[in-house]
Homo-oligomer: A and B are copies of this chain.
């Protein structure tokens, strides 16, 4: 149950057996069916979730109800609304399962305790957030600077496994175009080859 998350943490910090036990004791398993919400806009995010099985989408809705996907997450990813979680204020993100999903949940209270008792975790999460930050920066730049076709190919290259698990309309949302336009782009790509 904890193999994946232990390996995840071990990438940046090393823990003693007793620290590991303490960490495990703070987690609880959550199982969700497909199309269920982990979090909805307007709510306070009380958890950081580590996916051990399944796939979710993390998105924002605009006034007209259009989804804008911030990211997909599969096994070995942490999910949550970072700013809502750390400030414990209502956020704007929706988190919804795309497949039946299992997560190890770390709630806010426990995360504060964790940082206090094992400050090394501060480092682990700093590094994770840092990575997300530079990924988002690159993506933001590409969305402004590169045409949809290039962004689509980039997505396939970067997340080949995700690309096979989520419907195309969600990929369209992720790269920032309508499903109709992505369809056109794909058509053009097929002809090219």
Contact = CB atoms under 8 A, between A and B. Distances in A.
Contacts of A132: 133
Contacts of A129: 126, 129-130, 133
Contacts of A138: 92
Interface stretch (A117-125, A154-162, A163-171, A179-187): A117-125
B130 A83 contact: yes
A16 B188 CA distance: 63
B145 A62 contact: yes
Contact of A141 (B68, B82, B122): B68
Given A122-B123, A129-B133, A136-B133, A145 B68 contact: yes
A70 interface: yes
A109 to B, nearest CB: 17
Contacts of A136: 133, 136-137, 140
Given A136-B136, A140-B136, A143-B143, A122 B130 contact: no
A134 interface: yes
A30 interface: no
Nearest to A59: B141
Contacts of A53: none
A90 interface: no
A66 interface: yes
Contacts of A123: 115, 122
A38 interface: no
What 5 A-B pairs have minimum CB-CB distances, sorted nearest first?
A: A83-B134, A126-B126, A62-B145, A122-B122, A133-B133
A125 to B, nearest CB: 6
